Structure 1
Amino acid sequence: MTLTVLSPVSGEVVPLSEVPDPVFAQAMVGPGIAVQPERTAGDAVSPVDGTVVTLHPHAFVVATESGAAVLVHLGIDTVKLKGEGFTLHVVKGETVRAGQPVIGWNPAEIEQGGRSPICPVIALDASAESLVDVHEPGPVKAGEALLTWQR
């Protein structure tokens, strides 16, 4: 089965190794890619069709019917904001469509607060070899294909 994972935000695609957090940069959570978001207020959208299985103001996981799960993390150390600056548009357990708004936020405010707004997008329980057609570094719009996951 092939799963196309969409970009949750608009911005610049960068390698996971550029994320200023070793847990993500060294792919300890799983393989993936990151997006340096545009510095404008907006919504992070679901990268796949599925069910919201984990939901925090700063991060969420959507699991597909096949069991593939994708983690989207909005910024680094943003858990310390305790939800401030984030607006949830869905609830845990809700079924979402790829491209549907999940969390509203403002990357510029995250950056002004001294944190990186970079967004790791992680294919949970995947191997690095299972990610094919990974988006080249460069511009991407929310809802555009970011990577293809061969399951």
Structure 2
Amino acid sequence: MSLSVQCPVKGRAIPMSEVPDPVFSEAMVGPGIAVDPERAEADAVAPVDGTVVTLHPHAFVVLAPSGQAVLVHLGIDTVKLKGAGFTLHVVKGETVRAGQRMITWNPAEVERQGYSPVCPIVAVEAKPDQLAALRESDAVELGDPVFTWGS
């Protein structure tokens, strides 16, 4: 089964190799892409339909009915902000639809605090050859397809 993963934040798509954190740039969690977000307060939305299985102020994982999990990480090292500047709109265990508002945050403020606002979008534990149609450049809007994940 193929899963279309949608863009959770507005900005510019970049290759995962450009993320300033080896956990993501070396695909230790899984392959995917990243988005350099616009520097304004914005919503991060669900990339797929599914269940919120992990939820932190700076990151979330949505598990699709197919069993594929997608991680969205809002910025790099933003766990150190201890939730400051992030507003949650869902709870762990909630069923969400692709495009549903998950977290409101401000990438410009993250950057002012000294952290990278780049957002990895990860196909958790996928093999690199399972991803297709990776969007690794150009502007992306909320809901734009960023990659397809085949089983």
TM-score interval, smaller chain:
over 0.9
Q: 1:76 to 1:136 in 2, by over 3 A?
A: closer
Query: What whole-Å deviation, never above 9, does each CA across 1:100-122 have from its counterpart, x for those lacking one?
Result: 00000000000011100000000
Query: What whole-Å deviation, never above 9, does each CA across 1:63-116 have from its counterpart, x for those lacking one?
Result: 011110000000000000000000000000000000000000000000011100
Consecutive unaligned residues of structure 1, counting only runs of 5 or more, are: none
Alignment: residue pair count: 151
TM-score (norm 1): 0.99
Instruction: Determine the C-alpha separation between the residues in 2 that align with 1:79 and 1:114.
Output: 13
Runs of 4+ in 1 over 2 A off after TM superposition: none
TM-score (norm 2): 0.99
Instruction: Determine the C-alpha separation between the residues in 2 that align with 1:38 and 1:99.
Output: 17
Specify the alignment match of 1:50 in structure 2.
50
Instruction: Determine the C-alpha separation between the residues in 2 that align with 1:72 and 1:65.
Output: 17
Specify the alignment match of 2:63 in structure 1.
63
Consecutive unaligned residues of structure 2, counting only runs of 5 or more, are: none
AA at the equivalent of 2:115: R
AA at the equivalent of 2:112: Q
Specify the alignment match of 1:137 in structure 2.
137
Please state whether the residue corresponding to 1:66 is helix, strand or coil.
coil
Query: What whole-Å deviation, never above 9, does each CA across 1:1-54 have from its counterpart, x for those lacking one?
Result: 110000100000000011000110000110000000000101000000000000
Specify the alignment match of 1:30 in structure 2.
30
Moved more, 63-72 or 135-144: 135-144
Specify the alignment match of 1:94 in structure 2.
94
AA at the equivalent of 2:90: V
Q: Give the % identical residues.
A: 66
In the TM superposition, what is the alpha-carbon distance from 1:136 to its structure 2 partner?
3.6
AA at the equivalent of 1:131: L
In the TM superposition, what is the alpha-carbon distance from 1:135 to its structure 2 partner?
1.1
